[in-house]
Amino acid sequence: MQALKTKSNIGEMFNIQEKENGEIAISARELYKALEVKKRFSAWAEINLKHFKENRDFTSVLTSTVVNNGAVRQLEDYALTLDVAKHVAMMSGTEKGFDFREYFIQVEKAWNSPEMIMQRALKIANNTINQLETKIER
């Protein structure tokens, strides 16, 4: 499972996240809730993700939630690539699904804007500099 970092400044409708490899991801549970699906999440995920490949199109992620009695319960979620999120939203066949697909397209455009590309490149360069400085100090 890949660690995810929140990128809330890009998305407002969903919690857009950045995977360790720099790609953006959408929580399958968030998409499921937003689409107002009536099926159980596990059944919905099985149906909607069966044609996609794990670790390419989505990754399993464990999340936790507090239940009514105060106990913490582990839940399985999936970090969907933006392409998979767009596909699943559109396949829902609802007006909301179409709206979410349009939203994901806008997120993708923002993510691939020159400013965001430069921001990510600078972050990578700074991390490389810090790693090299740490090696030199040893």
Quick one: tokens of 69? 């009695």
| Residue 119 forms part of a structural domain | no
| Residue 18 forms part of a structural domain | yes
Q: What is the pLDDT of residue 109?
A: 87
Which residue reads 């999340």 in tokens?
63
| Residue 65 forms part of a structural domain | yes
Q: How far apart are CA 84 and CA 27, in angstroms?
A: 11
Q: What is the pTM of this model?
A: 0.68
Task: Indicate if the alpha-carbon torsion angle 77, 78, 80, 84 is positive or negative.
Answer: negative
| Residue 117 forms part of a structural domain | no
Provide the residue-wise pLDDT of the chain in tens; the chain has 138 residues: 333 444 444 446 777 787 777 788 899 999 999 998 889 999 999 999 999 999 999 999 988 888 888 888 888 999 999 999 999 998 888 888 888 888 888 888 888 888 888 988 898 899 999 999 988 988
Instruction: Report strand pairing: 17-19 vs 24-27.
Output: antiparallel
Task: Give Cα 40 to chain centroid, integer Å.
Answer: 20
| Residue 128 forms part of a structural domain | no
As for how many domains the chain has, the answer is: 1
CB contact set of 52 (below 8 Å; sequence gap of 6+)? 58, 84
Quick one: tokens of 126? 């700074």
